Amino acid sequence: MPKEDIIDIAAGQKKAHLIGATEMAGDNADLEVTLHHNYYLDIQDRMPLLRGGNAHVYNIVMDAAGLARAKKRITPDMAKAIAAKGYHFDVVGNGAISTENGAVLLEKSYLIDVFSPVRNNQKDPNQADYTGKIKAEDVILSDNGTVFRGGSDDANSPLAPYPVKAKDFSWNGFKTLTYSYTAENPENLVAQLQGMDGAGAGKLNWSSENWLKTVYKAAVSKNVQAVEDSE
């Protein structure tokens, strides 16, 4: 395989947000999180993965176009050779995941080439304890150029929970969200979150030499008093 192909295949980030570090932990049911206006670029899994509790996820972008391109570089013959050596290697693309009766609401978001956008069991489909509640509402999914907009409950929806039969959605511990919010039209999210004031904390303009240092000399800025940094 050419070096460029190897780099492309290895470039994707494996995991993003895990909510609930330990399987079946007694306090997983107490977890509550809201995620919004995040841009996940070529991340293969957990956007987020919830173990118990509640997660409200809106106005996010899952952009896995690079992963889809990389996956095509692994030919069927290569996949057979990898499997014959006993390796479990592939480019995967899981989106939002709910397990252990957790409740995940994914809404007003834009998904690009995500292989399995909505999952409700990440452990064992035959073990009901690992199945969660998850629902998509007004989500745009662009899959190899084919665009779907809708929710989990639509007929023949590509956003229907996988791999087990969906549980009826309800929040754990309350009936409705306890805060107000304004979710934006997902049509404009990609451009919006790629903009200067989009997702993230902003861009750091720093020389490459500074990233390699462990000790810095005193520096002065308009708003920061000079300090001596150490390792």
| Average pLDDT of every residue of the chain | 91
The pLDDT assigned to 138 comes to: 98
107 band by pLDDT with thresholds 50, 70 and 90: very high
Residue 84 has pLDDT above 90, yes or no: yes
Q: How do residues 123-133 score in pLDDT, each as one tens digit? A: 999 999 999 99
46 is catalytic: yes
pTM of the model: 0.84
Domain ranges of the chain: 3-194
What is the per-residue pLDDT across 192-228, written as a single tens digit (0 to 9) for each? 999 877 887 666 778 888 888 888 765 544 444 434 4
pLDDT of residue 218: 58
Q: Which residues pair with 140 in a beta bridge?
A: 110, 149
Catalytic pick among 46, 51, 119, 149:
46
SS3 per-residue string spanning the chain: CCHHHHHHHHCCECCCCEECCCCCCCCHHHCEEEEECCEEECECCCCCEEECCEEEEECCEEECHHHHHHHCCCCHHHHHHHHHCCCCCCCCCEEEEEECCCEEEEECCEEECCCEEEECCCCCCCCHHHCCEEEEECEEEEECCEEEEECCCCCCCCCCCECCCCCCCCCCCCCCCCCCCCCCCHHHHHHHHHCCCCCCCCCCCCCHHHHHCCCCCCECCCCCCCECCCC
Does residue 230 surpass a pLDDT of 50? no
pLDDT tens digits, 167-185: 999 999 999 999 999 999 9
pLDDT at 209: 85
